[in-house]
Structure 1
Amino acid sequence: MKVTRVLIIADPWIGHILEGQKDWEMRAQATSHRGWFGLIRKGSGQVVGLARLTECGLPLSPDEMIASHEHHRIPETMIRSGTVSRWIIPWKLADIRPPEQPVSYEHKSGAVTWVLFPDEVSIPLTKLLASTVPLSRNDETRPARTINEGVVSLITKRSTIEEPKKGMCPRSRNSR
């Protein structure tokens, strides 16, 4: 599996993801991408983590967003005020993996959401994927652990992981 794209995410949301406290990234549009991608802290010029996009949910109402706070971490006051009224589609993340060291990249002008990488960035990200284990939302220790630190081999674990099925996620509840 090659990691060829990354998602730009602003603070404080990227911090919540990397701390294992947030597993939905709220967006204004659906995406057809499924699988592994890098996480960029907006404005940093660095890939600060990896995650797997498992699915794209349906647009949420304000009440549904308030009820799912533990997944996206958007405060109720922001939801009720309309500040985040565009960001109602949950991109559901899994297997979040912060690296020991960020990977630098050059941000091309015009890239707003997804950044596609050449091999000189993609190869280190793919190697990083093989050398880290995901955070658990229930894991109180939070820091990433690597194979070199004695964690169970990912090769054994990875052989049992199935990649999610590809496909577009619906843009609205009434689109069918």
Structure 2
Amino acid sequence: MKGLIIKSPWIELILEGKKTWEIRGSNTKIRGPIALIKSGSGMVYGEVNVSDSKELTLKDYQVSNEFHRVQSESSQALPYKKTYAWVLEKPRIYKEPIPYKHPMGAVIWVNLSI
């Protein structure tokens, strides 16, 4: 399973079902279940399904705060040259976080054996 590294407070919002778009500077072809790793923790906290990835215009980004949860004052410009919303569904929080071994150089994705 692939693990996506996400910083706090975004990972908590995703796992609570309050953030359904993860904003990234690249597209992803990955679909289906992925694990969610809290950046810097060495732990997998849950999982979510990736159902889509779509490129956003500035207008899309500005009117979609309810999905990505970035504060409106930060929405004056796109955060990346090309900005994508990775659409997330069906979050599931693990009862106990699962430790994993972080490979050197991994920044976005980690291949997990859980």
With the shorter chain as reference, the TM-score category is over 0.9
1:46 counterpart (43, 46, 63): 43
User: What SS does the corresponding residue of 1:106 show, helix, strand or coil?
Assistant: coil
Determine which structure has the larger strand proportion and give its number.
2
Deviation at residue 62 of structure 1 after TM alignment:
2.3
2:108 counterpart (93, 108, 113): 113
Unaligned runs of 5+ in 1: 123-176
Residues 16 and 91 in structure 2, CA contact (< 8 A), matched pair in contact too: no
- Larger relative contact order, structure 1 or 2 (CA cutoff 8 Å, min sep 6): 2
Unaligned runs of 5+ in 2: none
Determine which structure has the larger helix proportion and give its number.
1
Deviation at residue 61 of structure 1 after TM alignment:
2.2
Q: Structure 1 counterpart of 2:79, which letter?
A: S
User: What SS does the corresponding residue of 1:70 show, helix, strand or coil?
Assistant: helix
**Structure 2 Cα separation of the partners of residues 97 and 71 of structure 1:** 18
Q: Is 1:69 the equivalent of 2:65? A: yes
Deviation at residue 33 of structure 1 after TM alignment:
0.8
Q: Structure 2 counterpart of 1:68, which letter?
A: S
Query: TM-score with structure 1 length normalisation?
Result: 0.61
Q: Is 1:15 the equivalent of 2:12? A: yes
Q: Structure 1 counterpart of 2:59, which letter?
A: D
Match of 1:163 in 2: none
User: What SS does the corresponding residue of 2:44 show, helix, strand or coil?
Assistant: strand
Match of 2:74 in 1: 78
**Structure 2 Cα separation of the partners of residues 8 and 106 of structure 1:** 13
Q: Once the two structures are aligned, what percentage of the paired residues are identical? A: 35
Q: Which has the greater radius of gyration?
A: 1
Deviation at residue 117 of structure 1 after TM alignment:
1.7
User: What SS does the corresponding residue of 1:8 show, helix, strand or coil?
Assistant: strand
Deviation at residue 34 of structure 1 after TM alignment:
0.7
Aligned length: 113
Q: Structure 2 counterpart of 1:7, which letter?
A: L
Deviation at residue 88 of structure 1 after TM alignment:
2.0
Q: Deviations over 1:137-163 (max 9, x none)?
A: xxxxxxxxxxxxxxxxxxxxxxxxxxx
Query: After TM superposition, what 4+ stretches of structure 1 lie above 2 angstroms from structure 2?
Result: none
**Structure 1 Cα separation of the partners of residues 92 and 35 of structure 2:** 9
**Structure 2 Cα separation of the partners of residues 107 and 13 of structure 1:** 20
Query: TM-score with structure 2 length normalisation?
Result: 0.92
